[in-house]
Chain A
């Protein structure tokens, strides 16, 4: 059954899945990094205004 499943692989879907791995995972990192930078700025500016 597994051999038949492997034969049934759609090559287009596989290349899209690989594309999704690097674009999707990288995309999550990009958004998270932007949010982390924003947090640093907000927390930093809040500390300054408190002083």
Chain B
């Protein structure tokens, strides 16, 4: 009857810790509504993969040999082989994005670029804390504030920390309403936060909306070839949306496809949350560095706006810079809320949405640039 207690006797304390962590992720997803679409599957998956001798991971069975586990198979096929899951999810995300506010106000593009500062600064911090360059780059990409980009970059770089990176990326996206106001208030004055910006958008034709994803892919692909998969799939989804001929495909991409892939991605990522890899001081460090990445993204965007104001007659509200991170639409809403708090007539939402949407492109480009530069440095 020993086989009945085999599993119980094989429990390690690290696995118990992972059950607790899984439980915390599930709690955050359900009770606090923190990115439930990802945190709940990740939390449950963390429990599944950390049950001793779990059948969801590959096991060697006596008399039978190697037996494949479903989560490990999903990870090998859907993430390790070609990063298919995050890329397919990007098609759905691209189909959801309306680039109109950005196309009608193109100067907001710059804030998307500025707010990627935290990624690169965090790479330096991670190296200072003893991580090797490829792991530091994978940790820095948490600052992209974009789950699929974080997963893809850390996987391509063969980082040892995909699990904590994915947990950090999704958890901190949900904490944007807490992280960003702190960072913004640290580097701005009340007077700066009260700057008003009139909104006078240019009209955007359907032709412009169709040409945009095509040209973005070509430009990004020529300058940063490693970004083609990321940018290309995002823009493919957007082209399906904007072409006006594929409404059913667009709806499918936005809803069924995005939901299906999200469902599988969350539980599949759990394969990288095995206790022996996850329960370590490095995980805690990564969570801390991920927080700093978001913080410095915000600071970078805001300081860039303040720098531009040195040369502009019509000042920009520097909080717009903070909206340049990829956490859409939370970041735009945070900036709008802060602006109204300082001056209840100051509506910055459409400017902030433009910057926020730019951040979605810029974060993906940043990921591609890291993939282009880092392998050559290893």
> Which residues in A have some Cβ–Cβ distance to B below 8 Å?
1-2, 4-6, 8-10, 13-14, 16-21, 23-25, 27-36, 38-40, 42-43, 46-47, 49-50
Contact = CB atoms under 8 A, between A and B. Distances in A.
Nearest to B300: A25
Contacts, number: 133
Contact of A31 (B104, B107, B126, B219): B219
A9 B127 contact: yes
A25 B120 contact: yes
B287 to A, nearest CB: 15
Interface string B89-123: 00000000000001110110110111011011101
Contacts of B208: 39, 42-43, 46
Given A32-B362, A38-B215, A43 B103 contact: yes
10 nearest interchain CB pairs? A46-B205, A36-B109, A32-B113, A8-B130, A5-B130, A21-B120, A16-B377, A13-B133, A17-B124, A17-B127
Given A9-B127, A24-B369, A28-B116, A39 B205 contact: no
Contact of A43 (B109, B112, B119, B202): B202
A21 B124 contact: yes
B366 to A, nearest CB: 5
Interface string B352-378: 000000100110011001100110010
Contacts of A9: 127-128, 130
Given A20-B123, A32-B113, 4 more contacts: A10-B132, A25-B120, A42-B215, A46-B208
A13 B212 contact: no
Determine which residue in A16, A18, A39, A40 has the highest number of CB atoms from chain B within 10 A of its CB, and name it: A39
B207 interface: yes
Nearest to A25: B120
B124 to A, nearest CB: 5
A28 B362 CA distance: 7
B216 interface: yes
A23 B133 CA distance: 15
A34 to B, nearest CB: 5
A3 B341 CA distance: 43
Contacts of A19: 373, 377
Contacts of A6: 128, 130
B113 A13 contact: no
Nearest to B215: A38
Interface in B135-173: 136-137
29 contacts: A2-B129, A5-B128, A6-B128, A6-B130, A10-B132, A10-B133, A14-B128, A20-B137, A20-B370, A20-B373, A20-B374, A23-B373, A24-B369, A24-B373, A25-B116, A28-B362, A28-B366, A29-B110, A29-B113, A31-B220, A31-B223, A32-B362, A33-B110, A34-B223, A39-B102, A42-B211, A43-B103, A43-B205, A47-B202
B96 to A, nearest CB: 19
Interface string B176-212: 0000000000000000000000000011110110011
Nearest to B324: A32
Given A32-B113, A35-B220, A20 B215 contact: no
